[in-house]
Copies of this chain bind each other. A is one copy, B any other.
Amino acid sequence: MNDLYKLLENADNYLKEDNEPPEDLILELKNMVQDGGYIGMAQINPIAGDIEYNAKKIAKYIKFANKINLESLVFPELALMGYPIEDTIDRHPVIVSENVKWLKGLARISENTIIIVGFVEPRNCFEGKKYYNSVAVLQNGKIQGIVRKSLLPTYSEFNDYRYIEPSNVSGCQAPSLLGTGKSSEQSSKLYNGYGISICEDCWNDDEFFERKLYDINPIKDMAAENPKLFINCSASPTRAKKEQLKHNMISFIASKYKIPFVYVNQVGAIDNISFDGTSRMYDSNGKLIARAKSFDEQLMIVNPYKNIGKIYPLTKGLEKSLTEQKVFTLEYESDLERTYKTIIQGVRDYFKKCGFKRAVLGLSGGLDSSVCAVLMADAIGKENVFGVSMPSHITSSESKSDAEELANNLGINFDEASIKDMINTTTQCLNGLFDKVETKWGKYYDCKTSSFTNTPNNIYPSFTPDNIQARSRAMFLWGISNEFASCIPIATSDKSELYMGYATINGDMSGGFAPIADVPKTKLFAFARWLNENREVKNAIPEAIILKKPGAELAINPKTGKPLIAEDALMPYEFLDEIIWRIENKNESYNDFLNTEFVYEKHENISKEQKVEWLNKFYRRMSTALYKWSILPPSVIVEARSINKYDYHQPITSSHINYKGVGEEYINAALD
Contact = CB atoms under 8 A, between A and B. Distances in A.
Interface of A: 47-53, 55-56, 59, 82, 84-88, 90-95, 97-98, 101-102, 104-106, 108-109, 126-129, 154-155, 159, 161-163, 210-214, 269-271, 349-350, 353-354, 357-358, 360, 386, 388, 413, 415, 417, 419, 421-422, 424-426, 428-430, 432-434, 436-437, 440-445, 452, 462-464, 467-468, 471, 474-476, 478-480, 482-487, 505-506, 510, 512, 583-584, 587, 589-591, 627, 630-634, 641, 645, 648-659, 661-662, 664, 667-668, 670-672
A209 B100 CA distance: 28
A656 B53 contact: yes
B49 A654 contact: yes
Contacts of A104: 664, 667
A462 B485 contact: no
A491 to B, nearest CB: 10
Q: For A98, A270, A349, A649, which residue has the most chain B Cβ atoms within 10 angstroms?
A: A649
Contacts of A656: 47, 49-50, 53, 353
A467 B482 contact: yes
A165 to B, nearest CB: 9
6 contacts: A269-B653, A349-B653, A358-B452, A425-B425, A442-B484, A510-B631
B94 A659 contact: yes
A467 B477 CA distance: 12
A93 B181 CA distance: 38
Given A92-B583, A654-B50, A657-B49, A415 B429 contact: no
A668 B105 contact: yes
Contact of A443 (B53, B126, B485): B485
Contacts of A429: 417, 419, 421-422, 476
A479 B467 contact: yes
A433 B85 contact: no
Q: For A94, A127, A159, A587, which residue has the most chain B Cβ atoms within 10 angstroms?
A: A94
A436 B462 contact: no
Contacts of A587: 90-93
A506 B214 CA distance: 44
Given A127-B212, A350-B653, A462-B483, A658 B98 contact: yes
A413 B388 contact: no
B415 A436 contact: yes
Contacts of A668: 105, 108
A56 B671 contact: yes
Given A91-B641, A98-B661, A105-B664, 15 more contacts: A49-B656, A59-B671, A93-B589, A94-B589, A154-B162, A155-B162, A271-B652, A349-B653, A353-B655, A354-B652, A360-B437, A417-B436, A463-B482, A467-B478, A467-B482
B129 A213 contact: yes
A354 B87 contact: no
A421 B428 contact: yes
Contacts of A475: 426, 430, 468, 471, 475, 506
A432 B651 CA distance: 43
A388 B48 contact: no
A466 to B, nearest CB: 9
Contacts of A358: 441, 452
Contacts of A661: 94, 97-98, 101
Contact of A510 (B108, B430, B432, B506): B506
A308 B53 CA distance: 64
A108 B665 CA distance: 12
